[in-house]
């Protein structure tokens, strides 16, 4: 177990705060994500959803805060300095300049949608915003509500209670209409991308005719690894000189190239990312990057109070600010993990990424009950994608007696996997693939933690390359074999 003295206990309580109902620690010591902040040996194969707190990360957090007391961490000056350090380290890790981007930290990518709608409406002084959400089933579950300034969970980041669907920021709710553009058809397949792009163009052209603002989400990696719409299509839209078009690059999965993110910002696109998926920080660790040349500075407003603390913004008043450290501590872990990842050998990173892409698919396909879902249109324009070109999320259905198990069974398997002995496996939460049939899938995802561990093996041992690949393959095989065992239990 983790040390039981007051300071570590205080950190654990803080790490689960400033989020929403999904981060509440239940009686079994787990959250609704099936993650835990307690000491654990769970294998992180669910970075497309969330990860449990890694023991090494927790030790690093304690080291970073060494010399501070709980009382110190209630000081505005101390907390401001810590946030300044996180902000500086983030920009450095991403190879970005504060002159290029205004960085706002947010509890989650979903929360960021309300902020973005508010910023766009204020900038354009627009009568209405048409917000286009691509792949609504494969991005954050509350994205559609959040885009319209509505509550998507019962508990706000500041701890206040909400009713799902209620208006949080009335100005956003009154002026925003949200358009959902699905990526898959009713059978779960992905139709030609041109169909999706035709619908997007229709909405934007209608917005322009009415002199409304429009906001398009470019999904740089959905929950199943899909990238849509194509960057070529988005560039054509931007070249058409639509006066009030705004583009959001949804890179919340964290599966991107830094050069692609920088290019997007230089083109005037807003970028959302998290450190709690690919980079393995505890859940609810997001950020929004606003290109200064288009949006100038983004400032805290009183109506944001239930969602965002004033210190999350780069500019805040010198007045006494309420101290909330949950997001700060999660980002201390997140930015540290980003630094560790980017300090490794690019050559070794690419090797591990390729192993996962090749070996994981082979292992999934070799298991009797697992039905691999081919990532259609994974790379519609490979050379120009913002997403890294390697497949780091693999989706599969589970088949038993000729039928695919429904999502409620997949949830049960997901729960039991985490609690497996002698070691648990945390996979990506089940996702619905077909609204018509209800077919759903589980996901195995590669995150920075396993990549760093593999590179350590490569660099520390003779014959490390072969050993590292065998170790990663063994982890994936063990997880798939355990899934098969659990699948066999249904109906017996």
CATH number at residue 332: 3.40.640.10
**263-276, pLDDT tens digit by residue?**
999 999 999 999 99
- Residue at 24 is within a domain: no
- Residue at 42 is within a domain: no
How many residues does this entry show for the chain? Answer: 492
Whether 306 and 428 share a structural domain = no
pTM for the whole structure: 0.93
Whether 148 and 221 share a structural domain = yes
Domain boundary among 337, 372, 407: 337
Rounded Cα–Cα distance for residues 427 and 389 (Å): 21
Domain of residue 404, residue span: 344-489
> Given a cut of 60, is residue 381 above it in pLDDT?
no
Domain boundary among 337, 356, 379: 337
- Residue at 315 is within a domain: yes
Whether 243 and 367 share a structural domain = no
Whether 348 and 420 share a structural domain = yes
| Mean pLDDT, all residues of the chain | 89
DSSP states of 28-56 = TS--TTS--SSS---EEE-TTT--PPPHH
| Band of pLDDT at residue 223, cut at 50, 70 and 90 | low
Indicate the range of 26-30, 51-55, 143-147 predicted with least confidence: 26-30
For strand 393-400 and strand 403-404, is the pairing parallel, antiparallel, or unpaired? antiparallel
Whether 121 and 150 share a structural domain = yes
Q: Which two tokens stand for residue 432?
A: 């619905």
**38-47, pLDDT tens digit by residue?**
999 999 999 8
- Residue at 45 is within a domain: no
Whether 323 and 371 share a structural domain = no
- Residue at 21 is within a domain: no
Q: Helix, strand, or coil here: 15? A: helix
Which runs of E-coded beta strand occur in 22-138?
Answer: 43-45, 101-106, 129-134
**55-101, pLDDT tens digit by residue?**
999 999 999 999 999 999 999 999 999 999 999 999 999 999 999 99
How many structural domains compose the chain? 2
Whether 130 and 228 share a structural domain = yes
Whether 368 and 471 share a structural domain = yes
- Residue at 12 is within a domain: no
User: Which residue in the block uniquely carries the two structure tokens 């017996």?
Assistant: 492
- Residue at 359 is within a domain: yes
Domain boundary among 290, 316, 337: 337
Tell me what pLDDT residue 491 has.
58
> Given a cut of 80, is residue 5 above it in pLDDT?
no
Average pLDDT over residues 254-281: 91
- Residue at 70 is within a domain: no
CATH number at residue 452: 3.90.1150.10
Whether 80 and 216 share a structural domain = yes
Q: Buried b vs exposed e over 308-317: b needs ≥16 C-beta within 10 Å?
A: bbbbbbbebe
């Amino acid at each position: 177990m983790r040390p039981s003295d007051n300071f570590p206990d205080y950190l654990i309580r803080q790490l689960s705060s400033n989020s929403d109902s999904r981060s509440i620690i239940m009686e079994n010591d787990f959250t609704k994500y099936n993650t835990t902040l307690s000491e654990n040996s769970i294998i992180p194969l669910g970075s497309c959803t969330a990860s449990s707190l890694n023991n090494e990360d927790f030790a690093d957090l304690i080291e970073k805060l060494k010399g501070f007391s709980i009382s110190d961490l209630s000081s505005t000056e101390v907390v401001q300095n810590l946030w300044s350090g996180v902000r500086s380290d983030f920009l450095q890790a991403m190879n970005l300049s504060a002159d290029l981007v205004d960085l706002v930290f947010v509890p989650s990518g979903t929360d960021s949608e309300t902020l973005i709608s508010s910023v766009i409406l204020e900038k354009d002084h627009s009568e209405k915003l048409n917000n286009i959400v691509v792949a609504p089933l494969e991005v954050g579950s509350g994205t559609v509500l959040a885009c319209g300034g509505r509550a998507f969970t019962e508990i706000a980041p500041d701890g206040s209670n909400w009713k799902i669907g209620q208006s949080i920021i009335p100005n956003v709710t009154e002026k925003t209409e949200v358009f959902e553009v699905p990526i898959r058809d009713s059978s779960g397949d992905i139709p030609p991308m041109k169909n999706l792009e035709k619908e997007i163009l229709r909405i934007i052209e209608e917005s322009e005719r009415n002199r409304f603002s429009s906001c398009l989400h470019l999904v740089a990696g959905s929950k199943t690894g899909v990238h849509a719409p194509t960057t070529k299509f988005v560039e054509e839209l931007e070249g058409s000189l639509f006066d009030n078009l705004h583009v959001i690059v949804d890179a919340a999965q964290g599966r991107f190239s830094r050069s692609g993110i920088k290019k997007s910002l230089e083109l005037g696109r807003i970028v959302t990312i998290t450190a709690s998926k690919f980079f393995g920080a505890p859940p609810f660790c997001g950020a929004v990057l606003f290109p200064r040349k288009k949006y100038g500075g983004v400032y805290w407003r009183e109506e944001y109070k239930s969602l965002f603390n004033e210190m999350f913004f780069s500019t805040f008043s010198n007045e006494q600010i309420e101290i909330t450290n949950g997001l700060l501590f999660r980002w201390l872990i997140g930015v540290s993990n980003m630094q560790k990842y980017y300090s490794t050998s690019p050559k070794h990173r690419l090797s591990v990424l390729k192993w996962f892409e090749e070996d994981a698919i082979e292992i999934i396909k070799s298991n009797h009950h697992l039905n691999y879902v081919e990532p259609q249109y994974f790379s519609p324009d490979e050379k120009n994608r913002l997403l890294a070109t390697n497949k780091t999320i693999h989706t599969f259905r589970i088949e038993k007696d000729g039928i695919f198990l429904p999502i409620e069974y997949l949830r049960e398997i997901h729960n039991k996997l985490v609690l497996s002995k002698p070691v648990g496996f945390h996979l990506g939460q089940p996702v619905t693939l077909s609204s018509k049939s209800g077919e759903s899938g589980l996901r195995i995802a590669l995150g920075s933690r396993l990549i760093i561990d593999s590179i350590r093996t490569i660099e520390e041992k003779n014959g490390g390359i072969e050993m590292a690949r065998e170790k990663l393959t063994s982890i994936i095989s063990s997880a798939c074999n355990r899934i098969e065992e659990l699948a066999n239990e249904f109906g017996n």
